[in-house]
Amino acid sequence: MEKTFLMVKPDGVQRGLIGEIVTRFEKKGLKLLAGKIMVVSEEQAKTHYIEHESKPFFESLISYITSGPVFAMVWEGKDAITLTRSMIGATKPTEAAPGTIRGDYAVEMSRNLIHGSDSAESAEREIANMFDPNELIQYEQVIAKCLY
Ligand code: RTP
Ligand code: MG
């Protein structure tokens, strides 16, 4: 089983889309291990988006992600990273397919509603950046018997 870090960004929280987004992953059969509303600190934001440090949009990305509360989550499941990235859709909402979260609800690339880890290494780093290990709850997911 794979873990991934997903985060409803400040625009998604302000638009009241936390529930809609969580529902999609629940219905897919992923298991929610942790979730909290929080304000990302400057330091956490810079660690989170470290791979974009040298990009021209880095400063605006940091200021946006720290601009208001986000809903941070850890989800687990088979191929969780690839599955959630495909459910999230392309970075540019104009390229995100209908049926994906960004394809259905986002308009601007700078306000594309949700973040999803892009690799197992990123997921591990991103989870450690936002959660204490004891905030992740392990439990038996009864529907897993139907899924796998
Ligand atoms: P995220 O990390 O937020 O889940 O988004 P992503 O993987 O789809 O895209 P990524 O390449 O990691 O970029 C992170 C966020 O930076 C903004 N961005 N702006 N050229 C640009 O102006 C540009 N490129 C990326 C987007 O908001 C993207 O979600
Ligand atoms: Mg990314």
- For the chain, the structural domain boundaries read 2-147
Q: Quickly state the pLDDT bin for 68 (edges 50, 70, 90).
A: very high
- Kindly provide the ipTM of the predicted complex, given to two decimals: 0.96
Maximum separation of any 2 CA atoms in the chain, in Å = 47
pLDDT in tens, 9-55: 999 999 999 999 999 999 999 999 999 999 999 999 999 999 999 99
Q: Which of 3, 46, 48, 115 is catalytic?
A: 115
The pair of three-digit structure tokens given for residue 84, joined into one six-digit string: 């959630």
Q: Quickly state the pLDDT bin for 114 (edges 50, 70, 90).
A: very high
Question: Ligand 1 mean position to 91 CA, how many Å?
Answer: 6
Residue 85 is assigned to a ligand binding site: yes
Question: 44 with 102: CB under 8 angstroms?
Answer: no
Q: Which CATH architecture does the domain made up of 2-147 adopt?
A: 2-Layer Sandwich (3.30)
Question: What is the pLDDT, as a whole number, of residue 138?
Answer: 96
- pTM value surpassing 0.95: yes
- Does 52 qualify as catalytic in the annotation? no
Q: Which of 91, 105, 113, 121 for mutating ligand 1's site (highest number of atoms within 8 Å of CB)?
A: 91
Question: What is the pLDDT, as a whole number, of residue 146?
Answer: 93
Give the integer Cα–Cα distance in Å for 148 and 133.
Answer: 26
Residue 57 is assigned to a ligand binding site: yes
Which of ligand 1's atoms lies nearest the C-alpha of 57? 22
Q: Which ligand is nearest to the CA of 96?
A: 1
Please compute Rg for the chain using Cα positions: 15
